[in-house]
Amino acid sequence: MIIAVDGPAAAGKGTLTRRLAGHYGLRCLDTGSLYRSVAATLIAAGSDPQDTAAAVAAAETVDPRRFAASELRAPGTGHAASIIAAEPDVRAALLIFQRAFAARPPGAVLDGRDIGTVVCPDADVKLFVTASVGARAERRWLELREADPGAQLEDVRADLERRDARDASRDTAPMRAAADAHLLDTTEMDIDTAFREAVAIIDAARG
């Protein structure tokens, strides 16, 4: 079974994906970590995120385990990842990795922006997980504050809005819900509620 989980930044996709994978006995892949890993490789080498040749080379040998979670999750890495993600050749290189991952038994839950539309258009169930920008900014801010007590909510919100706009407006594989995706708005939900709702959607979709 393949479950596709797409949606904007900080909508709760990551936690939901890990819990769904545990519940259904599937492997899971945070595809954003692939783009972040390419970004972190370029940042470590002092390269510009617009350097397509360097980004494609990093994408062809991508391995998110090379970086600490703190490096991958840093706001600068997310920003560079969003720029790199607009490059078709980078996406093509990462598509090979993602499809190979999804094809291995017993199947997987993948989260990202284009899983239901491009990576796994034949996924058994597709979720598009979203939440209001205010709720998403607050969640991300609470996370960031642990490492950076000076983080400002307005800056986090502006950064999310910029990134979502870039991810949704690029020409190649823009972020959007697949026509057959089930919408899950987590604005008013805690993670346990979102998980229960997702399981109900998936079980109903599988009949």
186 belongs to the binding site for ligand DC (CB under 6 A): no
139/156 Cα distance (integer angstroms): 10
Q: Outline where DSSP puts E strands in the chain.
A: 2-6, 27-30, 108-112, 125-130, 182-185
CB 84 within 8 A of CB 93: no
Q: Which of 85, 125, 131, 181 binds ligand DC (CB under 6 A)?
A: 85
Q: Which of 81, 93, 129, 194 binds ligand DC (CB under 6 A)?
A: 81
8 belongs to the binding site for ligand DC (CB under 6 A): no
178/171 Cα distance (integer angstroms): 16
CB 174 within 8 A of CB 166: no
Query: What are the φ/ψ torsions at residue 7 (nearest 5 degrees)?
Result: 155, 170
CB 163 within 8 A of CB 157: no
Contacting ligand DC within 105-164 (CB under 6 A): 112-114, 163
Indicate the residue among 35 and 67 with the shorter CB distance to ligand DC: 35
Indicate the residue among 158 and 200 with the shorter CB distance to ligand DC: 158
14/6 Cα distance (integer angstroms): 10
Indicate the residue among 25 and 137 with the shorter CB distance to ligand DC: 137
Least CB distance to ligand DC at residue 108 (A): 13
Least CB distance to ligand DC at residue 204 (A): 25
Q: Which of 24, 35, 97, 195 binds ligand DC (CB under 6 A)?
A: 35
Least CB distance to ligand DC at residue 207 (A): 28
What are the residues binding ligand DC (CB under 6 A)? 9, 31-32, 35-36, 78, 81-82, 85, 112-114, 163, 167
